[in-house]
Chains A and B, each alone.
Chain A
Amino acid sequence: MANYSHPEVLVETDWVKQNLGKPGIKLIEIDVDTKGYDAGHIPGAVGFNWQTQLQDQLRRDIISEEAFEKLLGDAGISPSDTVVLYGDNNNWFAAYGFWLFKIYGHKDVRLMNGGRVKWLNEPDKELTTERPKIVSTQYRASGPDLSLRVMLSEVLRAQPGKTCNLVDVRSPDEFTGKVIAPPGMTETAQRGGHIPGAKGIPWSTAVGPDGTFKSVDELRTIYVDQKGVDPKKETIAYCRIGERSSHTWFVLKYLLGLSNVRNYDGSWTEYGSIVAAPIEK
């Protein structure tokens, strides 16, 4: 598939259609607004709510290992299953889910290229309001791989340009500080702007008009040749709350195959509220 470094983590809508209902293949729709799932989802797909099911509801954090095990167990998933994720907002939240599944060591997790909108707009693809019948499992995660995640202290120590690439995937108006968050968003920060040394490469750079990923050659031209992401250095991606950056993290790590890519999920809502942290506009 388009010569991606790790083609096995991406499936097309047609592949999903051909494999509907096959044992060992599980579908999960991950939405920030689950009205989409409720109105209609791919037959057999379980729905996850990004805000209430993938976030710790007490402190600001990803869900704990136990919570992840319970979530997957209740969704009838086993560690050996092939899990295909897709969702709203161009798969941002599905990409965040992918990142979380990788942190908790799920072996075979994939994204459906183009997300729910692509499936919806293809005439031969069905949607249903029926919820799947689930036989719950005892899911056991394998220890968290925290190398995929960057915490604030490391971001503050990082030297973008020198020791690492720092990629800000938000919209140009967020990058320049014209707005702190897209209009109407509740999660925001105290200040607008970006982390000094970050390159502004909006998440949408990676996709075509139908929301599917660009080819590896196009991606390499954009990220490496034009935007100057140095493949030899570590790369950190961030956005506002860590979901758009999961999308770019996925692109850089699995499609382009950069060796060390991490997601800063604290992102601007954390960094932009730190007292005395340097900001560029």
Chain B
Amino acid sequence: MLPSEENPTPLVRLNRLNPHADFPLYAKLEWMNPFGSVKDRAAWALLRDLEERGELANGRGLVEPTSGNTGISLAAMARARGHRLLAVVPNKVPLEKKVLLKIAGADLEVISDELCPAPGLGDGSINLAKTHAKASAHKYAMPNQYENSKNVEAHYRTTGPEIWKQTEGKITHLFVSLGTCGTVTGTAKFLREKNPKIKIIAVQPTEGHDVPGLRNISQLGVSKLFDSSLVDDIIEVDFHLAYTRALDLCQNEGLLAGPSSGLILEGALEIVARDKSGFGVMIFPDNIFKYTSNMIKHIPGLGSGTQP
């Protein structure tokens, strides 16, 4: 069920939103993973690793900080294999994701958002999950997607080879977003080994953003998986554009992509205009279904006419 080189997630070409014929842009539709996002790849690797190391014996469950997607993937997989997950999520996470976590069988702990975030600090979901893992070690193992090399490995083993094969080695630019940085580090590492010239472009939302799953560089301290030597450019995009571009994708390309995909598209279009020719692949992490409440917040008028 999970994607692999033989059974990859689809790669489709943008037809309308990219005006440059000499620089085709392809979207890798990660929402075609069984549990709806790119995070299936990392979740599976994290879960299997804990199982193999015997960390989940005797009814010990998992605890993990998540903006939703990792939790949904992990909870669904864990429940299917007889484990429980406590998902620690920031309040900013959209309601749809919180409810989906419960539907997928996770226990949910929602924490208040950072009051006045400072670089590298704060309590946040990561530290609360760590607190559980430390104070109740008999109850919880913590995969810690922000520090666990299995997260990177999953993309090195699957996402990278899939893209290489699907593009027949023609890829010149990879466009990704930054959350745990598992996607960028694993995929970029594989592709750079195949062709060191491939440009890796990371797109980040402006500070104080509201794009679940993503981090601005100022918040990247928590991810031990970020490797700046694997990234050529980091493009900052006004986070509101994540939402308008997602809407563009839905209405003009027939791609029901979520806000982090919208953000990546905006960054990719900037590079396409700059570099003029190439062969771009954008990793679209998930689709729009989990973000209707956020879309209403950020797209003026979208909520009107939804009541009798």
A120-B127 contact given A40-B135, A90-B118, A128-B135, CB 8 Å threshold: yes
User: Contact: A35 with B109, CB < 8 Å?
Assistant: yes
Contacts of B210 in A (CB 8 A): 183
User: Contact: B109 with A203, CB < 8 Å?
Assistant: no
Closest to A114 in B: B121
Of the candidates A40, A88, A204, which one forms a contact with B132 in the assembled complex, judged by CB atoms under 8 Å apart?
Answer: A40
Closest to A117 in B: B127
User: Contact: A209 with B136, CB < 8 Å?
Assistant: no
User: Contact: A211 with B121, CB < 8 Å?
Assistant: yes
The verdict on B15 contacting chain A, using a C-beta distance below 8 Å, is no
Contacts of B134 in A (CB 8 A): 40, 120, 126-127
User: Contact: B136 with A36, CB < 8 Å?
Assistant: no
A116-B123 contact given A40-B136, A183-B113, A185-B115, CB 8 Å threshold: yes
For window 103-130 of chain B, which residues contact chain A by CB distance below 8 Å? 109, 111-116, 118-123, 127-128, 130
Of the candidates A40, A184, A204, which one forms a contact with B131 in the assembled complex, judged by CB atoms under 8 Å apart?
Answer: A40
Contacts of B128 in A (CB 8 A): 35-36, 39
The verdict on B208 contacting chain A, using a C-beta distance below 8 Å, is yes
The verdict on B34 contacting chain A, using a C-beta distance below 8 Å, is no
Contacts of B59 in A (CB 8 A): none
Of the candidates B115, B120, B130, which one forms a contact with A209 in the assembled complex, judged by CB atoms under 8 Å apart?
Answer: B120
A46 to chain B, nearest CB (A): 16
Question: How does the 8 Å CB contact mask read for B206-231 relative to A, with 1 for contact and 0 for none?
Answer: 00101000000000010000000000
Main secondary structure of the interface of B (DSSP, over half): loop
Contacts of B120 in A (CB 8 A): 209-210
Contacts of A126 in B (CB 8 A): 134
Of the candidates A33, A35, A120, A184, which one forms a contact with B130 in the assembled complex, judged by CB atoms under 8 Å apart?
Answer: A120
The verdict on A53 contacting chain B, using a C-beta distance below 8 Å, is no
Closest to A173 in B: B208
A129-B116 contact given A36-B123, A184-B92, CB 8 Å threshold: no
Please report the number of residue pairs spanning A and B whose Cβ atoms sit closer than 8 angstroms: 82
- Interface bin, chain B: 20 to 34
The verdict on A7 contacting chain B, using a C-beta distance below 8 Å, is no
Contacts of A128 in B (CB 8 A): 135
A23 to chain B, nearest CB (A): 25
A182 to B221, CA, bound (A): 21
Question: How does the 8 Å CB contact mask read for A149-193 relative to B, with 1 for contact and 0 for none?
Answer: 000000000000000000000110100000000111100000000
The verdict on A194 contacting chain B, using a C-beta distance below 8 Å, is no
The verdict on A89 contacting chain B, using a C-beta distance below 8 Å, is yes
A90 to chain B, nearest CB (A): 6
The verdict on A32 contacting chain B, using a C-beta distance below 8 Å, is yes
Between B91, B111, B116, B134, the greatest number of chain A beta carbons within 10 A of the residue's beta carbon is seen for B116
The verdict on A3 contacting chain B, using a C-beta distance below 8 Å, is no
User: Contact: A117 with B123, CB < 8 Å?
Assistant: yes
The verdict on A220 contacting chain B, using a C-beta distance below 8 Å, is no
Question: How does the 8 Å CB contact mask read for A125-154 relative to B, with 1 for contact and 0 for none?
Answer: 011110000000000000000000000000
Question: How does the 8 Å CB contact mask read for B120-162 relative to A, with 1 for contact and 0 for none?
Answer: 1111000110111011100000000000000000000000000
A182-B135 contact given A36-B128, A90-B121, CB 8 Å threshold: no
Of the candidates A39, A92, A129, A209, which one forms a contact with B119 in the assembled complex, judged by CB atoms under 8 Å apart?
Answer: A209
Between B112, B128, B135, B136, the greatest number of chain A beta carbons within 10 A of the residue's beta carbon is seen for B135
User: Contact: B111 with A32, CB < 8 Å?
Assistant: no
Of the candidates A35, A39, A89, A129, which one forms a contact with B122 in the assembled complex, judged by CB atoms under 8 Å apart?
Answer: A89
The verdict on A121 contacting chain B, using a C-beta distance below 8 Å, is yes
Closest to B91 in A: A184
A106 to chain B, nearest CB (A): 26
A126 to B136, CA, bound (A): 11
A209 to B219, CA, bound (A): 12
User: Contact: B116 with A170, CB < 8 Å?
Assistant: yes
The verdict on A199 contacting chain B, using a C-beta distance below 8 Å, is no
Contacts of B136 in A (CB 8 A): 39-40, 129
A184-B113 contact given A39-B131, A128-B135, A204-B118, CB 8 Å threshold: yes
Contacts of A40 in B (CB 8 A): 131-132, 134-136
The verdict on A26 contacting chain B, using a C-beta distance below 8 Å, is no
> A-contacting residues of B (Cβ < 8 Å)?
91-92, 109, 111-116, 118-123, 127-128, 130-132, 134-136, 208, 210, 221
* List of 3 A-B pairs having minimum Cβ-Cβ separation, nearest first: A40-B135, A204-B118, A127-B135
Can you identify 23 A-B contacts, CB atoms within 8 angstroms?
A: A33-B111, A35-B109, A35-B111, A35-B128, A39-B135, A88-B123, A90-B118, A116-B123, A116-B127, A120-B134, A127-B131, A127-B134, A127-B135, A128-B135, A129-B135, A129-B136, A170-B116, A182-B116, A202-B116, A204-B119, A204-B121, A210-B121, A211-B121
